[in-house]
């Protein structure tokens, strides 16, 4: 007798089916660029957010987070609509390598619903809290150099936020809202926390507005004055001090209690062997908020302060002026150097001179170092912080008019703020007319290539042409002056020849 046994899917097949189900696209943004999936994600406590799902950026080919704030009443939505737009436009201006990017937002009002959808950067490597737990589990201690580097990155981000006009107070800085990338880059998430609490009406949205206070495990991150007075930078400094302390000791013991006590925080601080680290953390968690230093001041503390190497200063100079250099210039330059050539020589009176040769420099290590500097791992922290440029960071507009739309409300138009890293232009005179044909080739910092062309008249000025490009969001306002200079140079050359090509 033969028995028939029904076949069962293996565990891997079931997981594959589940994965395929989670990756199913359930909604698209009005422009078609962002595709929402079923899979839910957690990226730190965000007040008012009812759900956060994984999504795909079809233009960049990367995963992002699709966040939704659902309103219970459309009338309430209408009363705060202008405030929300202003808040989200301000968030679009935040652009710092150590802050989770706020990509996009739009308002969606239907017959039976009112909601706000916003897209943020997806941090796949996990939170600082998770990293510290793994480190402690493996019976390892925190590397002091890594601790200093991470503190500098967090303070660089806080200094940026606090120098905005008006200042942005984080208000929810914990080890759960700080994320660490595989390359050691630290990013602060949930920077919109206090803004949401101040704008969204209590009871008007479906998600909790004060859920961070419900998590007793994180109560010790909040300063004594939190919630009882007007928001100030000092509440972020207190939270940072607790984060710095947890990074140093890996975990502040709660001694079986659900809430970390003041005594536990004091004991953790006293356990630090380095007196400068003890002083540094104690300054941040002072009870009186007026006695706490600013983020910028902390960057000059003795435990973090160091004179930047010429190598780091040169790297920042190179990155900031990348648009003036051709692509792969570092690689091409290093190839042309004689390995035995002397690039520098140190002369001593009492012992032989020291020669530094090109063979001592690894092109691969140099490329990696430049990439790390560009990504924000080594910020220039000992300089006065610059205020953020008041121009929203825009995303590509190539799919702006895609007709495959599921949500009905259009997204607000954005200005372009991606930086131009390489550019050249071509001018060709037309023998039959007085017009000149201009072709402008641009390479943006996300490696997108943009080609623009038009006919210009003899009385057209370079500044007017550039202002028009800025108005139509083809270039950022920040790049205006250098493109004006490029066009001026090309026009001057064109006067002396039938055609001219200028490259930067």
Distance CA 185, CA 485 (A): 35
pLDDT at residue 50, as a whole number: 64
pLDDT at residue 158, as a whole number: 94
Burial of 175 (0-12, 13-18, 19+ CB in 10 A): buried
Distance CA 253, CA 258 (A): 10
Distance CA 13, CA 375 (A): 38
pLDDT at residue 2, as a whole number: 38
Residue 378 near residue 312 (C-beta atoms within 8 A): yes
Distance CA 250, CA 134 (A): 9
pLDDT at residue 155, as a whole number: 94
Show Cβ contacts of residue 465 under 8 Å, excluding neighbours closer than 6 positions.
438, 454, 456, 487
The segment(s) of the chain belonging to CATH 3.10.20.90 are: 420-500
Show Cβ contacts of residue 132 under 8 Å, excluding neighbours closer than 6 positions.
142, 175, 246, 247, 250, 251
Q: State the helix-helix crossing angle for 275-284 and 262-270, rounded to 10 degrees.
A: 150
pLDDT (tens, 9 = 90+) of the chain, 504 residues, equals 334 444 445 555 555 555 556 678 889 998 889 999 988 887 655 555 667 889 999 988 889 999 888 887 788 888 888 888 888 888 888 888 899 998 989 988 887 788 889 999 988 888 899 899 888 888 778 889 899 999 999 999 999 999 888 888 888 899 988 998 878 889 998 887 777 777 766 655 555 544 444 466 788 898 888 877 777 899 999 999 999 999 999 888 776 667 888 888 988 989 999 999 999 999 999 999 999 999 999 988 989 887 777 888 888 888 777 666 666 677 777 777 777 888 888 888 888 888 888 777 777 778 788 888 887 777 776 554 444 433 333 323 333 333 334 444 444 456 777 888 888 888 887 665 677 888 888 888 776 777 787 888 878 888 888 888 888 788 888 888 888 888 888 888 777 654 445 545
Q: Please report how many Cα atoms fall inside a 13 Å half-sphere around the Cα of residue 11, on the Cβ side.
A: 0
pLDDT at residue 400, as a whole number: 36
User: Does domain 128-200+207-300 bear CATH number 3.40.50.800?
Assistant: no
Show Cβ contacts of residue 92 under 8 Å, excluding neighbours closer than 6 positions.
102, 105, 392, 393, 414
pLDDT at residue 77, as a whole number: 84
pLDDT at residue 203, as a whole number: 54
Distance CA 32, CA 248 (A): 45
pLDDT at residue 388, as a whole number: 41
pLDDT at residue 391, as a whole number: 33
The segment(s) of the chain belonging to CATH 3.30.200.20 are: 22-121
pLDDT at residue 275, as a whole number: 92
Distance CA 430, CA 246 (A): 68
Q: What 3-state DSSP class applies to 420? A: strand
Distance CA 88, CA 116 (A): 10
The terminus-to-terminus CA distance of the chain in angstroms comes to 83
pLDDT at residue 19, as a whole number: 55
Please give the CATH number for the structural domain made up of 22-121: 3.30.200.20
Where do we find the tokens 């002369």?
Answer: 347
Please give the CATH number for the structural domain made up of 420-500: 3.10.20.90
The segment(s) of the chain belonging to CATH 1.10.510.10 are: 128-200+207-300
Where do we find the tokens 């949205």?
Answer: 205
């Amino acid at each position: 007798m033969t028995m028939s046994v029904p076949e069962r899917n293996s565990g891997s097949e079931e997981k594959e089916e589940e994965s395929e189900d989670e990756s199913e696209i359930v909604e698209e943004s009005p422009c078609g660029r962002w595709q929402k999936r079923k899979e839910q994600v957690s990226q730190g406590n965000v007040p008012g957010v009812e759900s956060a799902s994984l999504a795909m950026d079809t233009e960049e080919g990367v995963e992002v987070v699709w966040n939704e704030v659902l309103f219970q009443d459309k009338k309430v939505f209408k009363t705060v609509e202008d405030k929300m737009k202003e808040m989200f436009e301000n968030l679009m201006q935040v652009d710092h390598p150590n802050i989770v990017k706020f990509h996009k937002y739009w308002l969606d009002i239907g017959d039976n619903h009112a909601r706000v959808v916003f897209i943020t950067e997806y941090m796949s490597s996990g939170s600082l809290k998770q990293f510290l737990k793994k480190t402690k589990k493996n019976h390892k201690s925190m590397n002091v150099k890594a601790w200093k580097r991470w503190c500098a990155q967090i303070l660089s981000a806080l200094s940026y936020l606090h120098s905005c006009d008006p200042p942005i107070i984080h208000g929810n800085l914990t080890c759960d809202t700080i994320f660490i990338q595989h390359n050691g880059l630290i990013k602060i998430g949930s920077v919109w926390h206090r803004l949401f609490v101040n704008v969204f009406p209590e009871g008007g949205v479906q998600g909790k507005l004060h859920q961070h206070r419900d998590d007793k495990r994180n109560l010790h991150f909040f300063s004594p004055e939190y919630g009882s007075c007007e928001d100030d930078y000092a509440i972020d400094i207190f939270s940072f001090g607790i984060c710095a302390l947890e990074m140093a000791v890996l975990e502040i013991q709660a001694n079986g209690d659900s809430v970390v006590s003041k005594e536990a925080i004091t004991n953790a601080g006293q356990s630090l062997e380095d007196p400068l680290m003890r002083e540094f953390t104690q300054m941040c968690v002072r009870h009186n908020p007026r006695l706490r230093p600013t983020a910028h001041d902390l960057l000059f503390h003795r435990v973090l302060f160091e004179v930047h190497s010429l190598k780091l200063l040169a790297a920042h100079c190179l990155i900031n002026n990348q648009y003036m250099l051709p692509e792969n210039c570092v690689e091409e330059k290093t190839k042309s150097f004689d390995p035995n050539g002397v690039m520098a020589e140190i002369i001593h009176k009492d012992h032989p001179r020291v020669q530094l040769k090109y063979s001592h420099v690894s092109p691969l290590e140099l490329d990696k170092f430049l990439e790390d500097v560009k990504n924000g791992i080594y910020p220039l922290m000992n300089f006065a912080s610059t205020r953020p440029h008041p121009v929203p960071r825009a995303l590509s507009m190539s799919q702006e008019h895609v007709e495959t739309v599921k949500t009905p409300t259009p997204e607000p138009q954005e200005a372009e703020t991606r930086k131009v890293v390489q550019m050249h232009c071509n001018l060709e005179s037309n023998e039959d007319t007085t017009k000149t044909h201009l072709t402008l080739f641009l390479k943006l910092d996300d490696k997108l290539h943009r080609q623009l062309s038009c006919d210009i008249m003899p009385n057209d000025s370079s500044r007017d042409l550039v202002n028009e490009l800025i108005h139509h969001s083809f270039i950022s306002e920040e790049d205006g002056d250098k493109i004006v200079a490029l066009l001026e140079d090309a026009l001057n050359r064109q006067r002396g020849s039938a055609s001219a090509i200028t490259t930067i």
